[in-house]
Amino acid sequence: MRRTARTPRTSRRKRSSLANRAIAASAALILGGGGLVAVNVYASAGEGPSGSPPTRAQNTARQMSTIDCPDAGNELSDVPEQARPEVDRELAAMDTQITDAYRQFADRKEQISQDPGLAENAVLGPLRSKRSASLDRIGIAIGRVGERPAGIEGLAGCSLRADDSAPGNGNSNGKDGGNGGTGGQDDGQGQDQGQNQGQGDNQGQGDDQGNGQGQGNGQGGNGPVASDFVDIQSVQPNVDRPRQRRGASRGTFTTDCGRNENGKFNPDNVIVAPGVSNGAHHMHDYVGNQANDAFASDDDLANGVTTCRNQGDRSSYFWPVLRLQNGQDEADANADGGGKDQNVGQIQTPSRVTLKFVGSPVGRVTAMPRFLRIITGDAKAFTNGDANANASWSCTGFENRQLKDKYPICPEGSQVVRTFAFQNCWDGRNTDSANHRTHVAFAQPNGRCPKGFRAVPQLVQRIVYDVPPGPGFAVDSFPEQLHKPITDHGDFINVFDQRLMKKMVRCINDGRRCR
């Protein structure tokens, strides 16, 4: 089965949303002009900070930390399949444009702080021009076979923003660390269907645990900062187990694909940027299918070697590597996705990886289609906002306490845990969508899938690391995302054979535990 196209929609609502985002982005540029640094700090197109807007003097005094651009990929959910290859290439080019502009900004950070006009002239203006050209090419590509997206040109504008959690920016007490768990259970079964169940009222009150422990702004100079960490023991339990209803599919299916002991890494992402080397600008761990790189076709994956114990599972499971920022260079210190993209330090091999598929709390599940692609979490959540953020951070022995936007400081003898609960509802038609999100969904709070979607086995990934207690580690990210824990994400391509997929579904629906 090849990837199929999502049925194009041309509703006014979608066009209106894109146009509104475009107008907001354009307005930010008009308001800012040469003084963009002082005026438009927050830079989320269409969104501003809560409460009263800061004054020009307050903004000028803040330390700008990164570049914030509208995520055009998220807005393009209705791209005809014929235009997908060209659109994907242009979106990947836009990621590279942001990365290059961030490097220029980082190199001139002190000068820009003294001369805000330099940001517009040397960084933001040229970036806007490049993005405008890419967006125009995207519009042309879509327009050849469908309706050109309205307002797409307005997504070109970018701005600088401050890292509100950084020291000196007025929010370094970790008080926002309590965004609740997104799937992590003590038993790793992810039965909360990936929804935010945590209360979070008292989370992250560790008051910058780890200050003075060598974590001022990360080994690479672009994060993380001390306030990105919190002592897990200061976090209140925040995981609720949803009630299982009559008819729930209570079984599980676990596949053992190793821990990437053979060290397969690359900075590609064949889902988001097919055919583009270094499309992720950060390094991924791979378990399962070993044929996965930017150029892998469905046939390549079907015939690829797998690290999974059961050879009927040739699926690809991948996620950003975790690095120990201990001053020691990794082999990729001078490579794309590594040091060239400001991802530095020693890559850590997980001590344990659990890949478990679970059922629905309200009914039976159906088989996933082969080559179904799912991304959970958002690699750009620091600038995009947390709408699609879905990774959980915790520590062994404390997994009833889950963090979304903080790294945990684990006590001696406890290990760091990353948990991803993937989307568990499928639209019944498509194995992918233009923005790689709308063909799948999470179940609603009542456990049922949205209208038009059907329940499929939910993948829950639990990845454990034996790293020294305290700050000193970071997940790989796009450089401008500053290695924030909220940017963590996982990717999955289903390459189970038909026989093993049927076994999985039977086990889950019959309430058995199978491997």
Q: What is the DSSP string of 392-453?
A: EEEETT-TTS-BSSSEEEPPTT--EEEEEE---EE-SS-S--TTSSTTEEPPPTTSPPPTT-
The domain boundary, picked from 114, 147, 162, lies at 162
DSSP code per residue over 454-476: EE-PEEEEEEEE---SSS-EEE-
* Domain shared by 156 and 235, yes or no: no
* Domain shared by 308 and 407, yes or no: yes
- Residue 175 is assigned to a structural domain of this protein: no
* Domain shared by 472 and 326, yes or no: yes
* Domain shared by 150 and 235, yes or no: no
* Domain shared by 297 and 151, yes or no: no
From 127, 104, 103, select the one nearest 29 (Cα to Cα): 127
Q: Is the dihedral of CA 4, 8, 14, 15 positive or negative?
A: positive
**What is the distance between the alpha carbons of residues 476 and 104, in angstroms, rounded to a whole number?**
20
Beta carbons within 8 Å of 451's beta carbon, 6+ residues apart: none
**What is the distance between the alpha carbons of residues 408 and 471, in angstroms, rounded to a whole number?**
8
- Residue 491 is assigned to a structural domain of this protein: yes
* DSSP H/E element including 176: none
452-469, pLDDT tens digit by residue?
Answer: 999 999 999 999 999 998
Burial 320-347 (b: 16+ CB within 10 A, else e): bbbbbbeeeebebeebbbbbbbbbbbbb
From 239, 233, 238, 215, select the one nearest 225 (Cα to Cα): 215
* Domain shared by 238 and 338, yes or no: yes
Cis peptide before 361 (omega within 30 of 0): no
pLDDT of res. 217: 74
Beta carbons within 8 Å of 13's beta carbon, 6+ residues apart: none
| Structure tokens that stand for 143 in this block | 């327009």
| Residue 453 C-alpha from the chain's centroid | 23
490-508, pLDDT tens digit by residue?
Answer: 999 999 999 999 999 999 9
- Residue 326 is assigned to a structural domain of this protein: yes
* Domain shared by 21 and 146, yes or no: yes
49-71, pLDDT tens digit by residue?
Answer: 333 444 433 443 357 899 999 99
DSSP code per residue over 180-245: --SS--TTS--TTTT------TTTTTTSSTTTTSS-SS-TTSS---GGGEEEGGGSPP---PPPPP
Owning domain of residue 56: 12-162
Residue with tokens 């401050």: 162
The domain boundary, picked from 134, 162, 190, lies at 162
Mean pLDDT (whole number) for 192-210: 38
The domain boundary, picked from 144, 162, 180, lies at 162
Q: How does residue 168 score in pLDDT terms, banded at 50, 70 and 90? A: low
| Structure tokens that stand for 514 in this block | 């199978």
Question: Structure pTM?
Answer: 0.83
Query: Across all residues in the chain, what is the average pLDDT?
Result: 83
* Domain shared by 152 and 269, yes or no: no
Q: How does residue 172 score in pLDDT terms, banded at 50, 70 and 90? A: very low
For the chain, give the percent of residues with pLDDT over 70.
Answer: 78
Burial 420-447 (b: 16+ CB within 10 A, else e): bbbbbbbbeebbbbbbbbebbbbbeeeb
245-265, pLDDT tens digit by residue?
Answer: 888 999 999 999 999 999 999
SS3 346: strand
pLDDT at 330 over 50: yes
**What is the distance between the alpha carbons of residues 70 and 276, in angstroms, rounded to a whole number?**
21
- Residue 201 is assigned to a structural domain of this protein: no
Mean pLDDT (whole number) for 202-218: 44
Query: Higher-confidence residue: 368 or 46?
Result: 368
Burial 239-274 (b: 16+ CB within 10 A, else e): beebeeeeebbbbbbbbebbbbeeebbbbbbbbbbb
From 70, 55, 53, 52, select the one nearest 159 (Cα to Cα): 70
- Residue 328 is assigned to a structural domain of this protein: yes
SS3 30: helix
Domain count, the chain: 2
336-362, pLDDT tens digit by residue?
Answer: 999 999 999 999 999 999 999 999 999
pLDDT at 300 over 50: yes
302-319, pLDDT tens digit by residue?
Answer: 999 999 999 999 999 999
* Domain shared by 231 and 109, yes or no: no
* Domain shared by 251 and 138, yes or no: no
pLDDT at 266 over 50: yes
- Residue 335 is assigned to a structural domain of this protein: yes
| Structure tokens that stand for 259 in this block | 């821990």
- Residue 208 is assigned to a structural domain of this protein: no
- Residue 215 is assigned to a structural domain of this protein: no
Q: In 12-124, which ranges are continuous DSSP H helix?
A: 12-32, 36-39, 56-61, 72-75, 84-107, 109-114, 116-118
Q: In 33-83, which ranges are continuous DSSP H helix?
A: 36-39, 56-61, 72-75
* Domain shared by 262 and 128, yes or no: no
* Domain shared by 388 and 486, yes or no: yes
Binning the chain into helix, strand and coil, the percentages to the nearest 5 are 30, 15, 55
